[in-house]
Amino acid sequence: MRVSNALMADNIQSYLFKQTEGLLKTQEQIASGKRINRLSDDPIGIGQAIGYRNTISNLKQFNENINSAQLHIDTVEEILNAVTELLEDAKDIAADLHSEMRTMLADQVVNIRDQVFQLANSRNNGNYVFAGDLTDTQPFELDTATGAYSYVGDNGTKDHIIGEGLQVSIEADGSQIFQGVADVFDVLNNLEAELRANNATGVTDQLPLLSDVVEGLNSIRAVNAGQSNRLEATENYNNTFKVNISDLLSRVEDTDIVEAVIDLQLQQTAYESTLATAAQIIRPSLIDFLT
């Protein structure tokens, strides 16, 4: 093979270009910390990375929704707990153990009823908790003329997305909760009336009804507790899943520093040896030896 001077120079140049290009690429991966710095570095990898990033942001969002749902359930639980305690007091009164204090106890029942009324009209973050979907409407109204309580909310539930295609629905229908098995306000109204009428049987008749109301509240609370557990489990699962996905994402798009540094070292060695040999080859020519 004839070797011309231009051929030698061109080849050396192209080898040096190739090696500096490789060095630059490795250097970029180390400096940016990313294995993929443009789409073409790894088109399949970037597709996976987008998918993982999307999953991570979804999981974050789901956990936010779960927190919001959890907060709501906690609020409902606190309210229903307070109502239950009040009704336990009412049950004590209805047991009619102190027949001589019936008038005083009737005042107490009025107090309990007012508190339950207030609790049933609770607001969370400006929204009525037990108004169904009509969260801007006070759900229970008292007709002062007749002393009757009426529900003006609707049967909506409070829904939250907690996962892809998964929802929890939290009961928000006040009439279901407070007027379902037995109307708590009617029972308390009757209890007051019977106490004032000094009617022993009438008073004790309210006891099983109060128990029914408490029973109803408890069953709602049990459903909520179950949902709360489910939310917590989902959140834990999401968190673990998020860690796993973050790990996968990092494996796809982050530079393996050890590997990159070794690559860099190898490329540098190759580059320097090319420079050294090139310097040796280019310099001498026959002219140096002709006198």
CA 243/CA 52 separation, integer angstroms: 11
Q: Which two tokens stand for residue 216?
A: 């109803």
3-class DSSP state of 31: helix
Question: Is there binding between residue 291 and other proteins (CB under 8 A)?
Answer: no
- 65, 175, 189, 228: residue in contact with other proteins (rule CB under 8 A): 65
**How many alpha carbons lie under 13 Å from residue 237 in its C-beta half-sphere?**
10
Element (H, E) at 33: none
Nearer to other proteins, 67 or 81 (CB): 67
Task: Identify the DSSP state of 181.
Answer: S
Those residues whose C-beta lies under 8 Å from the C-beta of residue 206, and which sit 6 or more positions away, are 94, 187, 190, 191, 194
Choose the stretch contacting other proteins; rule: CB under 8 A; options: 51-59, 77-85, 208-216, 230-238. Answer: 51-59
**Count of C-beta atoms within a 10 Å radius of residue 67:** 13
- 33, 47, 208, 226: residue in contact with other proteins (rule CB under 8 A): 47
- 25, 34, 230, 251: residue in contact with other proteins (rule CB under 8 A): 34
Nearer to other proteins, 100 or 126 (CB): 126
Instruction: Give the shortest CB-116-to-other proteins separation in angstroms.
Output: 22
- 29, 69, 90, 96: residue in contact with other proteins (rule CB under 8 A): 69
Residue 220: name the closest of 104, 91, 120, 109 by CA: 120
- 24, 33, 54, 198: residue in contact with other proteins (rule CB under 8 A): 54
Instruction: Give the shortest CB-151-to-other proteins separation in angstroms.
Output: 15
Instruction: Give the shortest CB-36-to-other proteins separation in angstroms.
Output: 6
CA 11/CA 125 separation, integer angstroms: 74
CA angle 71, 89, 72 (to 5 degrees): 10
Q: Which residues pair with 150 in a beta bridge?
A: 141
Site string for other proteins, 252-281 (x = CB under 8 A): -x----------------------------
Choose the stretch contacting other proteins; rule: CB under 8 A; options: 45-53, 79-87, 108-116, 222-230. Answer: 45-53
Site string for other proteins, 173-212 (x = CB under 8 A): ----------------------------------------
Task: Identify the DSSP state of 180.
Answer: S
Strands (E), the chain: 123-124, 127-128, 140-143, 148-151, 157-163, 166-171
**Contact by Cβ (8 Å): 216, 181:** yes
Instruction: Give the shortest CB-73-to-other proteins separation in angstroms.
Output: 13
- 19, 26, 36, 191: residue in contact with other proteins (rule CB under 8 A): 36
Hey, what amino acid is at 147? G
Restricted to residues 112-171, the positions that interact with other proteins (CB under 8 A) are 125-127, 131-136, 154, 156, 158-161, 164-165, 167
Instruction: Tokens 């597709």: give the residue.
Output: 47
Question: Is there binding between residue 61 and other proteins (CB under 8 A)?
Answer: yes
Residues of this chain that interact with other proteins (CB under 8 A) are: 1-7, 10-11, 14, 34, 36-44, 46-47, 49-51, 53-54, 57-58, 61-62, 64-65, 68-69, 125-127, 131-136, 154, 156, 158-161, 164-165, 167, 172, 253, 285-287, 290
